[in-house]
Amino acid sequence: MSYEGWILLTASLVGLSCGLIGVFLILRKMAMMADAISHTVLLGIVTAYLITRELSGMHMLIGAIIAGLLTAVLVQLLHSFGVQQDASIGVVFTTLFAIGVILIATKTGNVHLDVQHALMGEITFVPWNTMDVPLVGEMPQATFILLIVFAIVLIMILAFYKEWKITTFDAALAASLGIPVMLMHYVFMTLVSITTVASFDAVGAIMVVAMLITPAAAAYLWTDRLSVMLCLSALFGAMSAIGGYYIAVWIDTSISGSMAFATGILFLISFIGSPNHGFLARYIRPVTIQE
C-alpha cells in the first residue's frame, strides 16, 4: 500500500472506532468524558516513561489505559458523592492533565514528550513506524493496533447490543432485569479508554475528541434508531478522515486539524439539512393547526 493509503486507512480506522463509541457517549450524555480521557492519558504515558525510561512499547499503552480508567473511576466516585457529572469530569480532567504537564516539565528533561504533539498528533509519521504482521507482511504499527481496537469495539457492540441499548436508555430497567449496570459502565469506559489511547499517538487529542463526538452528534440528527445511528456515525467518521486528508493536501496544513475540521463540516450539513431535526426542516415542515 502507498504512503497516502496507509495514512487514509489509519485515519479511517480512527473514524470508524470513535464513531461507534461516540454514539453511546452522546446518548449517555457523557460527551465531555471523551475530552477528559483524551487528555488525561498524557499522565499515564508520562508515568509509564518515568517507571521504565523507555519511550515506546506496550507499557506506554498500558499506562495510558490505566489513566483513562482512573479518570472514569474518579468521575464516578465524585458523582456518587453528589457532585454533578459535568463538574466531576471538569475537576478530574483538569487535575490529571495538569499533573501530566507538570511531570513533563519537571521530570522528563530533554526527552521528546511534547504537549503540542500530544494535542495535535502527527499522522504523517505513521507509515514509517512499521512492524511485521504474520500473513500480512510489513505494515504501520499504529494501523495494526487500530485494526485490533476496531475489531474489539465492533465485537463488543454486536455481542452485547441489547445490554448496551437497555443500560443506555433506562439503567433502572436494566438493573431490574438483572443486567450488571455498573459493570457494563466500566466495560464501556474501558472501550473508550482503549479507543482513545490507540488513536491518541497517531492523530492527537484534538482529533480524538472531534471523532468521538461530532460524527455521533451528526448521526443523531438523521435518525432515531440506534442501529442506524451507529452505522451513520461510523460512516461520518470515515468520511471526515478521508475528506480532511484531501483538504489538508489542498491547502497544505495539518492533516489531523483538517480531519477535525471536516467533522465540523459534516455536522453543519446535518444540522441544516437533516429531514427530521434539521434547521431547515423545522421551517419547511407544515404547521398543524388544532381546532
Query: pLDDT, tens digit, for every residue of 86-134?
Result: 888 888 988 998 888 888 778 766 555 454 455 555 677 777 777 777 7
Q: Predicted confidence band at 144 (pLDDT cuts at 50, 70, 90)? A: confident
Q: Is the predicted pLDDT of residue 164 greater than 50, yes or no?
A: yes
pTM, rounded to two decimals: 0.85
The interaxial angle of helices 31-52 and 3-27, nearest 10 deg, is: 120
Region 59-64: mean pLDDT is 79
Q: pLDDT tens across 246-271, in order?
A: 998 898 887 888 888 999 999 999 99
Cα–Cα distance for residue pair 175/256, rounded to 1 Å: 41
